[in-house]
Amino acid sequence: MAVGAVPRHVAIIMDGNGRWAQQKGRPRVFGHIRGCGRVKPVVREADRLGIKALTLYAFSTENWSRPEQEIAVLWRLLKKYLVREADELHRRNIRFRVIGEVERLSPDLREVIDKTTQRLSGNTGLQLTFAVSYGARRELARAAKLFAEDVARGRRKPEEMNEDLMEHYLWTAEMGDQAEVDLLIRTSGEMRVSNFLLWQAAYAELYFEDACWPDFEVAHLVRAVNDYASRERRFGSVPEPKATSKPPVGQNAQPLLPSISLELC
Ligand code: IPE
Ligand code: IPE
Ligand code: MG
């Protein structure tokens, strides 16, 4: 990909809500409430910047180990966000999906998710995805199980499995080639991926932001995108040769590969 390009798929680990609140002497859920309010401007800005897919990590499979009360607040906030924002998302031609173990969510939350997903499914703009009860290891184990079932039923042969086919069994299958994450942002200064999009972000550029999620402003997103634009993505290859000026008349051009004696190695 050319240097200077806008990332097509940006994924964000929205971290630091609890610490943000505790630094202010408030309960952790206060951070979740403020953090929820940061989603709207970030979605708008992602759309304005021309990002095609935005995936937000809202709740991990590991987050089920948190106190029940904290989890309940997170579900209420998710529901409220969807109910409140559906109109605006629709006006902006934004599609919406959830990836993760939706079957573990309460029926009423699932209903809101399904309604929102359906209502926005015909839109053709930014693909907004919430990762909810999501874990990349769970996603990969599930993919292996689904493929094994297809083999057992005679729909597939083991030798058919390859990287392209694997993607059909992931939660991100419907995203097609947009599933590949270009830029992975994590807030709050933590430098780990915490079981997020391990397959899809295999070649993502990583960006760590010190601000906690409730302090994450549109300007932080712009900075991350600009930083991304300055990076050279090589995907394991060698840098593109720079355009060189012609050798002076009468001199031979430099050979592309200098003759190095392999015995030196
Ligand atoms: C991220 O903030 C939100 C979720 C994981 C749901 P945290 O709640 O992890 O906040 P910290 O990292 O403990 O500060
Ligand atoms: C990752 O953050 C999950 C979300 C942001 C939803 P966590 O706070 O749960 O991750 P760890 O515990 O720091 O790895
Ligand atoms: Mg955290």
Q: Provide DSSP, 29-84.
A: HHHHHHHHHTHHHHHHHHHHHT-SEEEEEEEEGGGGGS-HHHHHHHHHHHHHHHHH
Atom of ligand 2 nearest to the CA of 14: 5
For 52-65, the pLDDT digits (tens) are 999 999 999 999 99
For 130-175, the pLDDT digits (tens) are 999 999 999 999 999 999 999 999 999 999 999 999 999 999 999 9
Give distance in angstroms: CA of 17 to centre of ligand 1: 5
* Closest residue to atom 13 of ligand 1, CA basis: 18
Residues forming the active site? 15, 63
The pLDDT of 236-264, averaged and rounded, is: 62
Residue 74 CB less than 6 A away from ligand 1: yes
Give distance in angstroms: CA of 150 to centre of ligand 1: 37
Three-point CA angle 110, 113, 114, nearest 5°: 85
Atom of ligand 1 nearest to the CA of 16: 14
Residue 240's pLDDT is 75
Report the candidate in 198, 177, 197, 218 with the shortest Cα–Cα distance to residue 47: 218
For 23-56, the pLDDT digits (tens) are 999 999 999 999 999 999 999 999 999 999 999 9
Report the candidate in 171, 205, 214 with the shortest Cα–Cα distance to residue 185: 205
Q: How is residue 187 annotated by DSSP?
A: -
pLDDT at 126 over 90: yes
Output the average pLDDT for the chain: 93
Best of 60, 61, 187 for a ligand 2 pocket test (most atoms within 8 Å of beta carbon): 60
* Closest residue to atom 2 of ligand 2, CA basis: 15
Residue 244's pLDDT is 56
pLDDT at 241 over 80: no
Instruction: Tell which wins on pLDDT, 239 or 71.
Output: 71
pTM of this prediction? 0.93
* Closest residue to atom 13 of ligand 2, CA basis: 194
* Superfamily for domain range 9-135+182-229: Decaprenyl diphosphate synthase-like (3.40.1180.10)
Atom of ligand 2 nearest to the CA of 13: 5
- Read off the tokens for 177: 């080639």
The residue extents of the domains of the chain are 9-135+182-229
